[in-house]
Every structure is written in structure tokens, then in C-alpha cells.
Structure 1
């Protein structure tokens, strides 16, 4: 009886916790509050929320969170330079005194900065650096997609080729991350957010 109660209790508790999250990545939650804060911060002036826009933005946010999860898995959050940068930002934020250290916004701002720097550092390694530094792969990409550049000489369209190659590298990488990490989207919570 006691064992059955505990199983029921923890199952119910897990359901309650899941209900407060819009998604999870490898059981790491993305809370509704965090997601809504980020959404509103990036959609200033929008007065209504609709489920289609929220769902599209959630997909982008999940891609961001996947990159952050991968950066942490690779230990980039333990790097001394990274830690110094975060400490410097936190000092600057506290010195501004625009946001109270006890406010939820402060925690969200710090988390956004921490994760943004991790994502940036990893993208530098996985995408931007590769696209800039490997001339042979860039030229091969150009040759395979020459119709997209109206047969203009490589040197003339190099910037566009780099951008397109970066997009391909990122799409391939995000697909591999989506295969590597377990993602659950809580559609019921997404619907509730759209009604707020």
C-alpha cells in the first residue's frame, strides 16, 4: 500500500512539474515563465499571443537550448575565460542597479547571458570558424550550388557563399542535436500560454 502511494505521489508530482513547463530537453525543464519572459522580451509591442507564433518561437528556443546543452556537455561552462566574462557581466549589471538582484528579471537576464555566451562560443567552433577557415570546403559548397550564385565568380560572391554554408552547417548540426537529445513539448501548456 505504501509503495503504491509513493509511486502515485511521485507520478502526480512529476505531472505537476511537467505541467508547469512548456518543454523539456533530456528532462531539463523549460518553464512557462522563462519561455514567456524570453518571448515577450523579443516580441515587444505584441499585445496578443497566438499558439502558432508561440509554437514557432518555441522551436527556435529549443534549438538555442540544445546548443547550450551541448556546450555544457562539452564542458565549456567550466572554462576560466567564460567564468570571468560572466562575473564581469554580473558586476556591470549590479552596478547599473536597473534590476534588483532579488527580482525574477535579474535571474532571467543572468541566465540569458550565461547561455548566450555558451551558445556563441560553441557556434564559433562548430559553424562560424569552420565556414571562414576552410576555403576548400567553401569552394566545394560553391561548386555544388553554383546555380544559386548566377554563375558569378567565387571571389565575387564569397560572402554569400560563407553565409549559405554556415546555414547548412547549422541545420545539419541542429538536426544531429535533435536526434541526440530527448525533447518533449507540452502542448497543453503552450495552449494555456496562448490564452493569457
Structure 2
């Protein structure tokens, strides 16, 4: 009887814990406070949003988190240049004395910086360098999609070809990450956050 009670209590606790989260990736929660902090920061401080808008942003945020997870799996979070960059940011933030190191906002800012730097570093490896440095792949992409660029020759539209190729690489990367990691979205919590 005690085992059943413990199992039920754990299930209810897990369900309650998930209720405070908009999503999870491989069991790691994305809390509604964290999500809304980022949403407001990227939408001029406004938290008023329709459900569809929040859902769209949540998918973008999940993609961001997946890239960060990929960067960590590659060990980019242990790179000395990255660690030095994070330390310098932390020192600059402390020097401003606008926000206490113990405040939740400080933790969100530090986490945002760390993750943004990782996302930038992994994107450089997975997308930007490939698109900039592999002329053969670019030409192949151009040939496969020639109708999009007609009547222009490759050299005339190279910048557009690079941008389109980067977009394709990113879509493929995100698809791979979404297959690799378990993503769960708590639609009920997203609906609760919707204001319009």
C-alpha cells in the first residue's frame, strides 16, 4: 500500500511540476517564468500575447534550447575561450551594480548570455562555416535550385545562395535535433499565459 501511495504521490508531484512548465526537452523543464522573461525581453517588454503567438515563439525558443544542448554535447561549454568570455561578461555585469548577484534576474541574464554564446558557437560550426567555406556544396545547391535563381549566374547570386543554403542547413539540423531529443509541450500552461 505504501509503495502505491508513493508512486501516486510521485506521479502527482511530477504532473504538478510539469504544470509550472511550458515545455521540457529530454526531461529538462522550461519554466513558464523563464519562457515569459525571454518572450517579454524580445517583445519590447510586453507579456500580452495571443496563444498562437506564444506557441510560435515557444517553438523558436525550443529550437534555441536544442542548439544549446547540441553545443554542450559537443563540449563547447568547456572550451577555454567560451569560459573566458562568460567570465568577462559576469565581471562586466557585476561592475554595473544594477542587479544583485543573488536575484533571479541576474541568474536569467547570466544563463541567457551563456546559452546565446553557445548557440552562436555551435551555429558557426554547423551552419555558417559550412555555407561560407564549401564552394562545391554551394554550387551543388545552386544547381539543384537553379530555377529559383534564373536567369542569374552563380557568381551574381552567390550571397542569396549562401543565405538559402544556410537556411536549409538550419532546417535539417533542427529536424535532426527534434528527432534526437524528446520535446514535450504543455499546451495548457501556454494557454494560461496567453493574454489575448
TM-score category (smaller protein):
over 0.9
Which residues of structure 2 form unaligned runs of 5+?
A: none
C-alpha displacement at 1:117, in angstroms? 0.7
Q: Which residue of 1 aligns with 2:66?
A: 66
Q: 1:27 to 1:38 in 2, by over 3 A?
A: same
C-alpha displacement at 1:183, in angstroms? 0.4
Q: Secondary structure at the match of 2:22?
A: strand
CA distance in 2 between counterparts of 1:116 and 1:46 reads 21
Q: Secondary structure at the match of 1:102?
A: coil
Q: Which residue of 1 aligns with 2:177?
A: 177
CA distance in 2 between counterparts of 1:8 and 1:195 reads 33
C-alpha displacement at 1:45, in angstroms? 5.4
Q: Which residue of 1 aligns with 2:33?
A: 33
Q: State which drifts further: 87-96 or 40-49.
A: 40-49
Query: CA-atom RMSD, angstroms?
Result: 1.2
CA distance in 2 between counterparts of 1:123 and 1:136 reads 20
Q: Which residue of 2 aligns with 1:119?
A: 119
CA distance in 2 between counterparts of 1:51 and 1:167 reads 26
Residues 87-126 of structure 1: CA deviation (Å, up to 9, x unaligned): 0100001111122212221111110110011111111110
How many residues were matched structurally?
196
Which runs of 4 or more aligned residues in structure 1 lie more than 2 Å from their structure 2 counterparts after TM superposition?
45-48
Which residues of structure 1 form unaligned runs of 5+?
A: none
